[in-house]
């Protein structure tokens, strides 16, 4: 975008009511992208959305590395997924290389770009953010939606205005239920290749298993210990 640099939008849409939940801009660099969005960026956007619309039951995402461990054939849950789990939000990762499964979401991305970006200039990222909020009001309240009988989303589904599960950032600690993570991890198993000295990486942490496990393929399963979060039991597989 002229004057403000390389911009990416994080867009959220309710696939049932077609309500545009939020479009939030991030500046990635001046002339080219110099960074990628991380967990904290997505937490910021999601907290803003949760505050206004409440906690959803499920969040459907693509296979970006912040959502899904693309570097492993046996992916461990990411920090963002674990954070959503403790809030009672299931993360659904879409299948690879099948954008047609997300046709509504892809159309939403196009709508945001055409409504707020194409041919426009802004002095600051904040100016763009304000415009996106104004356009969201128009899209939800006034623009007819073909899949809703040519009625604007919030006119067709007024119940979308009322959160079923409330959320406030300052109350987040009281909403956290770590037992949800225990229950989720207890269902999983993860394979890793141990290093020469028996080191293994899981969930962004490195564990030392001892030289006797060096160069073996190791199967890890969680051993739930509520008083100390969780530990892991493992088996060496030759």
Q: Which domains does the chain have, with CATH numbers?
A: 6-175 (3.30.420.10), 179-237 (no CATH)
| Cα separation values, 153 from 2, 55, 139, 146, Å | 32, 19, 8, 10
Question: For residue 38, what pLDDT is reported?
Answer: 96
Tokens 């088996």, residue? 235
Average pLDDT of 137-155?
Answer: 93
> What is the Cα–Cα distance from 76 to 195, expressed in whole angstroms?
18
Question: Among residues 159, 138, 222, 148, which one has the least CA distance to residue 185?
Answer: 222
Read off φ and ψ for residue 216, nearest 5 degrees. Answer: -100, 160
The helix (run of H) or strand (run of E) holding residue 154 is helix 153-156
Question: For residue 111, what pLDDT is reported?
Answer: 87
Any long-range contacts for 28-32 (C-beta under 8 Å, 24+ apart)?
A: 29/5, 30/5, 30/6, 31/5, 31/6, 32/6
Question: For residue 115, what pLDDT is reported?
Answer: 87
Higher pLDDT, 144 or 104: 144
Q: Is 85 exposed, middle or buried (0-12, 13-18, 19+ CB in 10 A)?
A: buried
User: CA 192, 206, 191 angle in degrees (round to 5)?
Assistant: 10
pLDDT at 228 over 70: no
Q: Are 141 and 155 in contact (CB under 8 A)?
A: yes
Q: What is the pLDDT of residues 203-212, one digit of tens each?
A: 888 888 787 7
The helix (run of H) or strand (run of E) holding residue 216 is none
DSSP strand pairing (20-29 vs 190-193): unpaired
Lowest-confidence segment of 17-31, 70-84, 122-136, 182-196 by average pLDDT? 182-196
Among residues of the chain, what percentage have pLDDT more than 90? Answer: 60
pLDDT category of residue 238 using cuts at 50, 70 and 90: very low
Average pLDDT of 210-232?
Answer: 65
pLDDT at 225 over 90: no
> What is the Cα–Cα distance from 10 to 4, expressed in whole angstroms?
17
Q: Are 10 and 39 in contact (CB under 8 A)?
A: no
Question: Among residues 177, 129, 151, 179, which one has the least CA distance to residue 23?
Answer: 129
Q: What is the pLDDT of residues 71-82, one digit of tens each?
A: 888 899 999 999
Question: For residue 197, what pLDDT is reported?
Answer: 83
Question: For residue 198, what pLDDT is reported?
Answer: 82
> What is the Cα–Cα distance from 109 to 102, expressed in whole angstroms?
11
Question: For residue 231, what pLDDT is reported?
Answer: 57
Average pLDDT of 216-236?
Answer: 61
Read off φ and ψ for residue 131, nearest 5 degrees. Answer: -60, -40
Average pLDDT of 159-172?
Answer: 94
Question: For residue 227, what pLDDT is reported?
Answer: 46
Question: For residue 24, what pLDDT is reported?
Answer: 97
């Amino acid at each position: 975008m002229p004057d403000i640099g390389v911009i990416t939008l994080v867009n959220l849409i309710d696939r049932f009511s077609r309500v545009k939940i939020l479009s939030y801009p991030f500046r990635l660099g001046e002339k080219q992208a110099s960074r990628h969005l991380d967990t904290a960026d997505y937490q910021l956007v999601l907290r803003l959305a949760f505050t206004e619309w409440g906690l959803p039951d499920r969040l459907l995402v693509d296979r970006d590395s912040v959502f899904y461990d693309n570097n492993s054939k046996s992916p461990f849950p990411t920090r963002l997924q674990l954070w959503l789990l403790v809030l009672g939000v299931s993360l659904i990762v879409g299948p690879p290389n099948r954008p047609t499964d997300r046709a509504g979401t892809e159309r939403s991305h196009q709508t945001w770009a055409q409504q707020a970006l194409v041919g426009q200039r802004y002095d600051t990222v904040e100016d763009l953010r304000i415009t996106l909020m104004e356009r969201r009001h128009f899209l939800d309240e006034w623009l007819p939606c073909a899949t809703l009988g040519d009625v604007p989303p919030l006119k067709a589904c007024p119940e979308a205005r009322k959160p079923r599960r409330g959320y406030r950032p300052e109350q987040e600690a009281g909403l956290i239920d770590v037992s949800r993570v225990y229950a989720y991890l207890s269902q999983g198993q993860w394979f890793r290749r141990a290093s020469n000295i028996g080191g293994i990486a899981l969930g962004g942490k490195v564990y030392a298993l001892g030289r006797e496990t060096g160069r073996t393929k190791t199967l890890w399963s969680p051993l739930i210990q509520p008083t100390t979060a969780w530990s892991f039991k493992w088996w060496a597989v030759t």
